[in-house]
């Protein structure tokens, strides 16, 4: 019979107590560190309560009413064989069908209900001047401003500036009204905390917060505004409301959002207060806004264009065309110049130039550093006044047979009628493009080539000479005029 033994563990109570005590101490230490960490994190977040209490009184809700224009007495319904008077003779059911807002025939003109809209704004003077967006009050027949204390006061439209989407209102009989403090948007830094007060979807005095995401953003609809980009939640109804910094100063006017859904998606844009106050003062004092004007068409300098023009890196604004009779033409600027500095300010992106020019007082001389022929030169240009959109000036403006080039291009002399319609005085017209460097560069049939590798092309002979001297394996610039607009393309022979 096998003998078995049972192992008996022996232990001392003292070591066990030490282990338990040590474990408890570690747990307590972890709790203390976690509490400290949470407290430190909380201390790092801004507290907006005091700032909101101080500034909410100067933020207003703006509601507008627009009355449709009255219809002509005998206005017909989209070609139907009866007019307004004849419609009155129809049974009530059919009258409602044709006049109703859901009518497939558009309803009876003059019978639609007044339209209403809502937005935000803020008071900048104790006597009642209010800043908001132009699109909030555009077309309004009646404007009502509602204050934080629930007073509703009528306001008149002093003036607008559609280019910056700005509007100035005046509260009638305004006196001793609360006023916001305005800061300096030029002192903003990316990553700085900001917050907004407005009325999204009609919810008055809603506060949202975030950070400055980027500065100097250019949008296609407003080239003269260097927008502040934030991630502050902005929605319909916030338009025209103030954007504050942590000093309680207004540093922007919430204006636009980027969205694919119609609501906030994390990208909001505000008009810098420096630009907004300049517009306000001009509208208040002069009733209109005047901006500086250079008179050039510009484009971005990408890597290939930078190489073709001899720049070490992409920067500046490439002048694709100079307007006839413009300040730029008078100051000696030429197509193909790359503006590197404007009055001492670096021009890194082409979108940097329009706001700089727009802020320059009309008649003042600006000093431009441009790259021309591989060398930097300084030009002095007297800035003109930006023309109204309806009166904008148009761009300024051989014999021989067709020629097929090794670039894959077929070109012909430029007909005089096409030259007149394009606004150019010389060049060659592209009649065919085969696969090759020219096609890869984006040159297409009916383009007019006026310059290759910084050499003017006025005829087929000029074109032939220019392509014979092209460097191999290096990007070169080609200036083409397409549908009346000049643009530089990059070609790699």
Report the candidate in 286, 278, 158 with the shortest Cα–Cα distance to residue 224.
278
The answer to whether residue 75 is domain-embedded is: no
Count the Cβ atoms, other than its own, within 10 Å of residue 269.
23
The answer to whether residue 148 is domain-embedded is: no
Q: Residues, the chain, total?
A: 493
* Angstrom distance (rounded) from CA 243 to CA 192: 12
DSSP string covering 411-435, please? Answer: EEE--HHHHHHHT-SS-EEEEEE-T
Q: Which of 120, 164, 165, 274 is catalytic?
A: 165
Q: Is 165 a catalytic residue?
A: yes
What the block records as the tokens of 203 is: 């919810």
Q: What angle do CA 386, 388, 393 make, to 5 degrees?
A: 75
What residues does 382 pair with on adjacent strands?
365
What residues does 404 pair with on adjacent strands?
410
**Residues 272 and 192 placed together within one structural domain of the fold:** yes
**Residues 351 and 441 placed together within one structural domain of the fold:** no
The answer to whether residue 454 is domain-embedded is: yes
What the block records as the tokens of 33 is: 């560190």
Q: SS3 for 399?
A: coil
Q: Which one of 256, 286, 316 terminates a domain? A: 286
Residue 194 · residue 232 · CB < 8 Å = yes
The answer to whether residue 105 is domain-embedded is: no
Q: Which one of 391, 423, 442 terminates a domain? A: 391
Q: Is 239 a catalytic residue?
A: yes
H/E stretch holding 392: none
The answer to whether residue 485 is domain-embedded is: yes
**Residues 281 and 185 placed together within one structural domain of the fold:** yes
Residue 437 · residue 471 · CB < 8 Å = no
The Cα-based distances of 157 to 62, 130, 287 in angstroms read 12, 10, 11
Residue carrying the six token digits 């980009």? 229
* Angstrom distance (rounded) from CA 19 to CA 41: 33
**Residues 460 and 370 placed together within one structural domain of the fold:** no
φ/ψ of residue 468, rounded to 5: -70, -25
**Residues 279 and 298 placed together within one structural domain of the fold:** no
The answer to whether residue 118 is domain-embedded is: no
Residue 164 · residue 271 · CB < 8 Å = yes
DSSP string covering 315-369, please? Answer: -SEEEEEEBTT-HHHHTT--TT-EEEEETTEE--SGGGHHHHHHHSPTT-EEEEE
**Residues 185 and 282 placed together within one structural domain of the fold:** yes
Report the candidate in 363, 457, 357 with the shortest Cα–Cα distance to residue 409.
457
Residue carrying the six token digits 């990408």? 302
Longest CA–CA span in the chain (Å) reads 124
The answer to whether residue 78 is domain-embedded is: no
Count the Cβ atoms, other than its own, within 10 Å of residue 227.
22
Domain harbouring 273, CATH code: 2.40.10.10
The answer to whether residue 380 is domain-embedded is: yes
Domain harbouring 371, CATH code: 2.30.42.10
**Residues 324 and 227 placed together within one structural domain of the fold:** no
Residue 166 · residue 121 · CB < 8 Å = no
Q: Which of 135, 231, 304, 351 is catalytic?
A: 135
**Residues 374 and 435 placed together within one structural domain of the fold:** no
**Residues 363 and 447 placed together within one structural domain of the fold:** no
For residue 369, give its domain range: 292-391
φ/ψ of residue 426, rounded to 5: -170, 170
The structural domain count of the chain equals 3
For the stretch 315-335, what's the b/e string if a residue is b when 16 or more beta carbons lie within 10 angstroms of its beta carbon? Answer: bbbbbbbbbeebbbbebebeb
Count the Cβ atoms, other than its own, within 10 Å of residue 29.
10
**Residues 411 and 481 placed together within one structural domain of the fold:** yes
Radius of gyration in angstroms for the set of CA atoms belonging to the chain, rounded to a whole number = 33
**Residues 276 and 302 placed together within one structural domain of the fold:** no
111-116: which pairs have CB atoms within 8 A and are 24 or more residues apart?
111/71, 112/68, 114/65, 114/66, 114/67, 114/68, 114/141, 115/65, 115/66, 115/68, 116/63, 116/64, 116/65, 116/66
Report the candidate in 98, 112, 103, 109 with the shortest Cα–Cα distance to residue 74.
109
Q: Which one of 286, 321, 340 terminates a domain? A: 286
Q: Which of 164, 239, 326, 335 is catalytic?
A: 239
**Residues 200 and 281 placed together within one structural domain of the fold:** yes
Per-residue confidence in pLDDT tens, the chain, 493 aa: 333 333 433 334 455 556 656 666 767 666 656 655 555 545 578 899 999 999 999 999 999 988 765 544 444 444 444 445 555 555 555 555 555 555 544 444 445 566 778 899 999 999 999 999 999 998 888 999 999 988 999 999 999 998 899 999 999 887 889 999 999 998 999 999 999 999 998 899 999 999 999 998 888 667 788 999 999 999 989 999 999 999 999 999 999 988 887 778 889 999 999 999 999 999 998 888 888 999 888 888 988 889 888 899 999 999 988 888 889 999 999 989 999 999 999 999 888 898 899 889 888 999 999 999 889 999 999 999 887 654 444 333 333 455 556 676 778 888 877 887 777 888 888 877 766 788 778 888 788 888 888 888 888 888 888 887 888 777 888 888 887 888 888 887 7
């Amino acid at each position: 019979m096998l003998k078995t033994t049972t192992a008996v563990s022996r232990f001392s109570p003292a070591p066990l107590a030490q282990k338990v005590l040590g474990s408890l101490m570690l747990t307590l230490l972890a709790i203390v560190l976690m509490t400290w960490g949470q407290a430190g994190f909380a201390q790092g977040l801004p507290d907006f309560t005091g700032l909101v209490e101080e500034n909410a009184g100067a933020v207003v809700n703006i509601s507008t009413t627009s009355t449709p224009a009255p219809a002509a007495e005998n206005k017909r319904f989209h070609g139907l064989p009866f007019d307004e008077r004849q419609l009155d003779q129809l049974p009530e059911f059919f009258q409602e069908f044709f006049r109703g807002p859901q009518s497939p025939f558009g309803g009876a003109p003059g019978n639609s209900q007044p339209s209403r809209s809502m937005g935000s704004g803020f008071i900048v003077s104790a006597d009642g001047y209010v800043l908001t967006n132009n699109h909030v009050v555009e077309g309004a027949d009646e404007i009502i401003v509602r204050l934080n204390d629930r007073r509703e006061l009528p306001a008149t439209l002093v003036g607008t500036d559609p280019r910056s989407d700005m509007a100035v209102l005046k509260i009638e009989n305004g006196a001793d009204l609360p006023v916001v403090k305005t800061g300096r948007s030029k002192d903003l830094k990316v990553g700085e905390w900001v917050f907004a007060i407005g009325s999204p979807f009609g919810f008055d005095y809603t506060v949202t917060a975030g950070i400055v995401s980027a500065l100097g953003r250019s949008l296609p609809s407003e080239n003269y505004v260097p927008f502040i980009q934030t991630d502050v939640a902005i929605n319909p109804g916030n338009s025209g409301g103030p954007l504050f910094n942590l000093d309680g100063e207004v540093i922007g006017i919430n204006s636009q959002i980027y969205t694919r859904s119609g609501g906030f998606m994390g990208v909001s844009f505000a008009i810098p207060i420096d630009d907004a106050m300049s517009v306000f003062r001009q509208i208040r004092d002069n009733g209109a806004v005047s901006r500086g004007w250079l008179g050039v068409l510009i484009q971005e300098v990408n890597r290939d264009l930078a190489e073709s023009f001899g720049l070490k890196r992409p920067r500046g604004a490439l002048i694709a065309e100079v307007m006839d009779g413009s300040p730029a033409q008078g100051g000696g600027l030429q197509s193909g110049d790359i503006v590197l500095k404007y009055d001492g300010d670096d021009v890194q992106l082409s979108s940097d130039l329009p706001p700089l020019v727009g802020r320059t007082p009309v008649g003042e001389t600006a000093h431009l550093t441009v790259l021309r022929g591989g060398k930097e030169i300084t030009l002095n240009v007297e800035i003109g006044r930006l023309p109204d959109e309806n009166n904008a000036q148009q761009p300024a403006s051989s014999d021989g047979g067709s020629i097929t080039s090794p670039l894959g291009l077929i070109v012909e002399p430029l007909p005089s009628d096409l030259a007149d319609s394009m606004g150019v005085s010389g060049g060659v017209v592209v009649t065919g493009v085969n696969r090759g460097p020219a096609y890869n560069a984006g040159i297409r049939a009916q383009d007019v080539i006026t310059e290759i590798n910084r050499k003017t092309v006025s005829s087929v002979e000029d074109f032939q000479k220019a392509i014979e001297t092209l460097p191999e394996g290096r990007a070169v610039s080609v200036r083409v005029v397409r549908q009346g607009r000049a643009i530089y393309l990059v070609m790699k022979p």
